[in-house]
Amino acid sequence: MKKRLVLFFALLLTLVTGFTAMTTTANAATDNSLTKIEKKGTLVMGTSPDYPPYEFQATVHGKSQVVGMDVAVGKKIAKDLGVKLVVKSMSFDSLLVALQTGKVDMVISGMNPTPARRKNVDFSHTYYQGGYSIVINKSDKGIYKDKDSFVGKTIGAQTGSTMYNESKKQTSGTTVKGMTSVSDLILALQSHKIQGVAMEKPSAQAYVANNKELAAIPSNFNLSASDTSASVAFAKGSTALVNKANKSVDQIKRENLVNKQYLPAAGKYLKTNTVNTSMFHYWKAFLTGIEYTLIITVCSVFFGFILGVLLSLARMAKGGVFKTALRWLATAYVEFIRGTPMMVQVMFVYFGLGLIVNLPALTSGIIAISLNSGAYVAEYIRGGINSVDNGRTEAARSLGMSSGTTMRYVILPQALKNIWPSLGNEFITLIKDSSIVSIIGVSELIFQSNIVRSDTYRGVAPIAVIMVLYFILTFTASRILNYFERRMQHD
């Protein structure tokens, strides 16, 4: 047992050191930031599109896309560089990691250039100077004046945002609740889980303008200029690119483009957006969600099953040094995967492996979930193989069949039948767990519902819709699995 532990930790250490080493190499790269973009011909902008009017999802000419003033800023920078802008959506938490791991070239997401962030990324000049408001329920108007009125109450803010940190620092006796998306926060506000939401002034105005039950009050946070200004973030050390972008930003500032052009344009999208907030209007968004959820699940089940078979065989290998090593490795893998959250694995594959090969989010998601599922399936299969009567093995071997042939034609089919209900369970769990890849921006059901929520300012309806959709998916899947289970029933 002790030996195994040593092996396990050795493996863990190798993983961690390997990862750290990779990060360092990536950071130590020389500054070819500008030439790289020019050569590539595209500038990839990372953003969290649930923050109107900075960035949000809107239907333009029947197609859902990210719009807002930040997108306009990104377009301007790309245009001045002579390249095409590509917008990549992901959660706000993931943005800087995506930047550091090269998933995106820049981040424009209403991000404040705080000293803490400056340690890890480079910022352009400020393109917009905002301030904070607190959004409250209109019925509470008069109770709350500013940040100091929330003693004994709860204020919400987007996790990882400046508002979150400042709310924590500058209030006393107030609980600060962090959530990933602003639409969740608004929902929490309307269901009275929290009493106020701290956010940038333009966002607050947009929410209030679109929702008659909300009101905005001044925050009166004591803030430095860097806390209220928005800048474009670039990877550390890409000075050439930052300098070039600064020229565009300076022009935006000089000509007051944000207030004159970008914000009014964003406002128009907001208005057209709220015309039709019926869930049927968004059937395409949900359909895309179903499509990706199914792609992820089916691929992961397929690869996870193959991996599971190999792992289970490795776990049962007995014999020489090689087979023992194989067994230990497989055991360590299964234990490690089962002992870490799937969400962490998804992020590790996307951002970690991303340092070596640049995998798209969907591929990363499928890889991560397959790797995860494989570990569980391996255990089911091992149990299934052990449950097959040893007499059948002996009968097969007495007929001259090799252990491999016996395994493939005699043992595995029977094991499969025995574990079919467990495998079916795994499949259904995967349909639901695939939602985790929404954090890296794969447009599966959860991700799509978040978009619809920030699009329509309706908190509950999209959740209800995907709940029903998930149930239809899982229920259909379990019916199909039952059909095959009956077909395999010979005794």
Closer of 62 and 319 to other proteins (Cβ) = 319
Cβ of residue 331: shortest distance to other proteins, in angstroms? 25
424 C-beta neighbours (distance < 10 Å), count: 17
Select from 91, 77, 84, 83 the least CA-distant residue to 47: 91
The DSSP element (H or E) to which 344 belongs, if any, is helix 342-347
What are residue 217's phi and psi, to 5 degrees? Answer: -125, 155
Cβ of residue 322: shortest distance to other proteins, in angstroms? 16
Cβ of residue 58: shortest distance to other proteins, in angstroms? 55
Distance in Å from the first CA to the final CA of the chain? 41
Cβ of residue 408: shortest distance to other proteins, in angstroms? 9
Under 8 Å between Cβ of 197 and 179: no
CA distance 30 to 26: 9
Cβ of residue 407: shortest distance to other proteins, in angstroms? 12
Cβ of residue 477: shortest distance to other proteins, in angstroms? 23
Cβ of residue 389: shortest distance to other proteins, in angstroms? 7
**Amino acid in position 462:** P
Cβ of residue 317: shortest distance to other proteins, in angstroms? 15
Q: Which residue has the tokens 């899947």?
A: 477
Dihedral sign, Cα of residue 325, residue 327, residue 328, residue 329: positive
Closer of 173 and 391 to other proteins (Cβ) = 391
Under 8 Å between Cβ of 459 and 183: yes
Closer of 271 and 392 to other proteins (Cβ) = 392
Closer of 414 and 474 to other proteins (Cβ) = 414
**What residues contact 258, with CB distance under 8 A and at least 6 apart?**
69, 73, 127, 128, 252
Measured CA to CA in angstroms, residue 255 lies from 225, 252, 282 at distances of: 20, 5, 37
Cβ of residue 309: shortest distance to other proteins, in angstroms? 17
Closer of 381 and 442 to other proteins (Cβ) = 381
CA 112, chain centre distance (Å) = 21
Cβ of residue 415: shortest distance to other proteins, in angstroms? 10
Closer of 84 and 392 to other proteins (Cβ) = 392
Count Cα atoms within 13 angstroms, Cβ side, for 256.
Answer: 3
Cβ of residue 63: shortest distance to other proteins, in angstroms? 51
Under 8 Å between Cβ of 359 and 367: yes
**Amino acid in position 87:** V
Measured CA to CA in angstroms, residue 108 lies from 44, 164, 249 at distances of: 10, 18, 12
**What residues contact 289, with CB distance under 8 A and at least 6 apart?**
443, 444, 445, 446, 447, 448, 449, 466, 469
CA distance 342 to 168: 29
Cβ of residue 411: shortest distance to other proteins, in angstroms? 10
Cβ of residue 395: shortest distance to other proteins, in angstroms? 4
**What residues contact 255, with CB distance under 8 A and at least 6 apart?**
none
Q: Which residue has the tokens 């701290």?
A: 198
CA distance 93 to 236: 18
Select from 212, 218, 209 the least CA-distant residue to 267: 209
Closer of 115 and 319 to other proteins (Cβ) = 319
Closer of 210 and 422 to other proteins (Cβ) = 422
CA distance 423 to 377: 7
Binding site for other proteins (CB under 8 A): 389, 391-392, 394-403, 405, 409-410, 413-414, 417, 488, 490-491
CA distance 418 to 343: 30
CA distance 283 to 121: 39
Closer of 215 and 410 to other proteins (Cβ) = 410
